[in-house]
């Protein structure tokens, strides 16, 4: 995966160059991941302009989109694929969709997320990214768009570009033939960029007496989060291929086209 030095988009990466089985790699310039795009400006940011993005898939909630609407480059189309819609309607917004709110009040964060509860909450959220109807619809949209002949360069994102986006990237890489070690390495590789982007928020939280462990559990990603989603796939479907076909409803033909497009 290639980090892109954009000035108006945080945590922007090209899945291209990731090693796959058989000596293959992911083609560059076709599929990108990022955090929110509310400051995206191709006119002022040559790194963004060079991508030529044609399709954007936004995995965020309605509240996140209202607070920080995407800025869409001219000629690109925006698709809404709210992965957490069912999770929010069932139990309120999870921490993955409320990073800034969670770290605004150390006492509230300790009450709801202290004592290991943050890690448990995120693991539960990752399981829902596999199981819930809204998440299955969201990732079906992502994969079918990637497989389309007219997709052009596609960028998918959430708010921080680490959880919903991280799972999407993991599914794509697994389908393309990346091994488990590569998938985990690429999943964890966003930590420095995410922590840099949210450093002022974390510093303010800790300065007010917040527990640094809570901040790290909320802001970063850890192997256990990804493992929770992979375990859910294994439990419900037995394999990633079956999850994509039966859980997401993506046809074998679409998967074949996706592989043809993205494997170099």
Considering only residues 156 and 121, tell me which one the structure prediction assigns the higher pLDDT: 156
Query: Rounded CA gap, 217 and 119, in Å?
Result: 6
Q: Considering only 34-48, 205-219, 250-264, which range has the smallest mean pLDDT?
A: 205-219
Query: What per-residue confidence (pLDDT) applies to 154?
Result: 97
Q: How is the chain split into domains, by residue range?
A: 2-262
pLDDT band of 185, cuts 50, 70, 90: very high
Under CATH, which number does the domain 2-262 receive? 3.90.190.10
Predicted confidence (pLDDT) at residue 94 exceeds the cutoff of 80: no
Predicted confidence (pLDDT) at residue 93 exceeds the cutoff of 70: no
pLDDT digits (tens, 9 = 90+) for 216-247: 878 889 999 999 999 999 999 999 999 999 99
For β-strands 2-3 and 13-14, DSSP reports them as antiparallel
Query: What per-residue confidence (pLDDT) applies to 225?
Result: 94
Mean pLDDT of 71-80: 94
pLDDT band of 98, cuts 50, 70, 90: low
Query: What per-residue confidence (pLDDT) applies to 92?
Result: 52
Query: What per-residue confidence (pLDDT) applies to 234?
Result: 97
pLDDT digits (tens, 9 = 90+) for 125-139: 999 999 999 999 999
Considering only residues 112 and 172, tell me which one the structure prediction assigns the higher pLDDT: 172
Query: Rounded CA gap, 189 and 204, in Å?
Result: 24
User: CA angle, 149 as apex, 157 and 173 as ends, to 5°?
Assistant: 45
Mean pLDDT of 25-40: 96
Query: What per-residue confidence (pLDDT) applies to 95?
Result: 52
Sheet holding 13-14, edge to edge: 2-3, 13-14, 31-34, 154-157, 55-58, 77-80
Predicted confidence (pLDDT) at residue 89 exceeds the cutoff of 70: no
pLDDT band of 96, cuts 50, 70, 90: very low
pLDDT digits (tens, 9 = 90+) for 109-126: 787 777 877 888 889 999
Considering only residues 172 and 101, tell me which one the structure prediction assigns the higher pLDDT: 172
Predicted confidence (pLDDT) at residue 97 exceeds the cutoff of 60: no
For the chain, the three-class secondary structure string (H helix, E strand, C coil) is CEECCCCCCCCCEECCCCECHHHCEECCCCEEEECCCCCCCCCCCHHHHCCCCCEEEECCCHHHHHHCCCCCCCCCEEEECCCCHHHHHHHCCCHHHCHHHHCCCHHHHHHHHCCCHHHHHHHHHHHHHHHCHHHHHHHHHHHHHHHCCCCCCEEEECCCCCCHHHHHHHHHHHHHCCCHHHHHHHHHCCHHHHHHHCHHHHHHHHHCCCCHHHHHHHHCCCHHHHHHHHHHHHHHCCCHHHHHHHHCCCCHHHHHHHHHHHEC
């Amino acid at each position: 995966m290639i980090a892109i030095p954009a000035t108006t988009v945080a945590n922007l990466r090209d899945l291209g160059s990731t090693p796959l089985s058989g000596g293959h790699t992911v083609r560059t310039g076709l599929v990108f991941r990022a955090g929110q795009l509310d400051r995206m400006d191709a006119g002022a940011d040559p790194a963004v302009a060079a991508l030529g993005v044609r399709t954007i898939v936004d995995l965020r909630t309605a509240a996140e989109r209202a607070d920080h609407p995407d800025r869409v480059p001219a000629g690109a189309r925006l698709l809404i694929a709210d992965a957490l819609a069912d999770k929010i309607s069932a139990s309120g917004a999870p921490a993955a969709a409320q990073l800034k709110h969670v770290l605004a009040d150390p006492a509230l964060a300790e009450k709801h997320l202290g004592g290991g509860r943050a890690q448990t909450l995120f693991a539960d959220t990752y399981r829902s990214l596999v199981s819930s109807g809204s998440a299955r619809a969201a990732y079906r949209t992502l994969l079918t768009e990637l497989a389309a002949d007219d997709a052009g360069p596609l960028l998918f994102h959430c708010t921080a570009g680490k959880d919903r986006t991280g799972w999407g990237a993991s599914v794509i890489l697994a389908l393309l033939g990346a091994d488990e070690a590569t998938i985990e390495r690429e999943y964890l590789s966003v930590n420095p960029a995410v922590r840099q982007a949210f450093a002022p928020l974390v510093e303010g939280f800790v300065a007010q007496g917040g527990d640094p462990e809570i901040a790290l559990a909320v802001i970063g990603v850890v192997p256990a989060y990804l493992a929770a989603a992979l375990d859910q796939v294994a439990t419900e479907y037995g394999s990633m291929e079956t999850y994509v076909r039966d859980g997401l409803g993506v046809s074998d033909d679409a998967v074949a086209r996706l592989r043809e497009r993205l494997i170099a």
